[in-house]
Amino acid sequence: MATQTKPVLYGYFRSSCSWRVRIAFALKGVEYDQVPVNLIKDGGQQLTEQYKTRNPMQQVPAVEVDGVTLSQSLAVIQYIDETRPGPRLLPADPKKRAQVRMISDLIASGIQPLQVSNYDRQVGVISFPKHIANFKFISEPFSLESILKQTSGKYCVGDEISMADICLVPQVYNAERFKVDVGQYPTIKRLNQTLLEIEAFKVSHPSCQPDTPAELRT
C-alpha cells in the first residue's frame, strides 16, 4: 500500500504500548517519525488538551497513518500488518492466529494495565500499596507461562514472529523493572532472550529512543 507521508508515532520511550508499535514498524521495515509524549514531565504531557485531540483516552501511543489517527497498540499493529508488506504479524492459519490474539490480549488486557506506574497515574493521591500491584503482576504470568508451553516453538506461537512476541518482550522488560524473577517462568525467559537478539527488538528498545534520558541510554 503506497503512502505519501511517513507515519507519526506519539509515544513515550518506556511505554510498553509504544514499544509494541515500534517493534511492529521495525519488523515491517516501515520508516516513521516519533513525537515524544512525556508521561511524567509537566504533570503528564498526555493529559494536555492538545494531545487529547489525538487520543481522547489521553494515553500513548497515538499513531497518525494514512490520513487517520489510531490508538490502542494492538489495533495499530493489526492495521500495519494489513496495509504494509513484509513478514506477517498474524499467522495465516486461523488456529495460530487465534492463539496469537489470545496471548496478545492476555498481556495487553490482563497484565499490562495493572502496572504500578499506571496505577500511580490513575489513583493520584490515593495510596495504592505497590506490593499489591506486584502480586497481580507476578500472578498473571503463571497463566501466560502455561499457555506458552503449549503454543511456542522458537517464538510464542510456532516458529514465526507474531504480534504475541511483540507484546511479550515489553512486558518482560517491565517485569524486570519491578524486580520480578523471570527465571521462575522458563518458557517466557527463553522466548524473551531469543527475541532480544533480533534487530527489530534491539532498535526499538527503550534504551535507544529519541526521548530516552541520557542516564538510561546504553
The answer on pLDDT for 128 being more than 70 is: no
Q: Specify the range with the lowest mean pLDDT, choosing from 2-6, 36-40, 197-201, 204-208.
A: 2-6
Residues 135, 149 within the same domain: yes
Domain with 70 in it? 8-87+206-216
Minimal CA–CA distance to 87: which of 188, 163, 191, 168? 163
Residues 163, 135 within the same domain: yes
Residues 106, 18 within the same domain: no
**Quick one: pLDDT band at residue 169, thresholds 50, 70, 90?**
very high
Can you give the pLDDT at residue 77? 98
Best-predicted range by mean pLDDT among 114-128, 166-180, 193-207? Answer: 193-207
- Which amino acid type is present at position 172? V
Residues 98, 82 within the same domain: no
Q: Contact 22/71 with Cβ under 8 angstroms? A: no
Q: Specify the range with the lowest mean pLDDT, choosing from 47-61, 83-97, 119-133, 164-178.
A: 119-133
Segment 139-150 shows an average pLDDT of 82
Is residue 1 domain-resident? no
Residues 186, 111 within the same domain: yes
The answer on pLDDT for 145 being more than 70 is: yes
Residues 47, 129 within the same domain: no
CATH number of the domain at 12, please.
3.40.30.10
Sheet hosting strand 68-71, strand order edge to edge: 33-36, 8-11, 62-65, 68-71
Domain total for the chain?
Answer: 2
Q: What is the pTM of this model?
A: 0.88
* Per-chain mean pLDDT for the chain: 87
The pLDDT tens digits of the residues spanning 95-120 come to: 999 999 999 999 998 786 655 444 44
Residues 211, 130 within the same domain: no
Segment 75-90 shows an average pLDDT of 97
Q: Contact 113/171 with Cβ under 8 angstroms? A: no
Residues 37, 133 within the same domain: no
CATH number of the domain at 148, please.
1.20.1050.10
Residues 48, 143 within the same domain: no
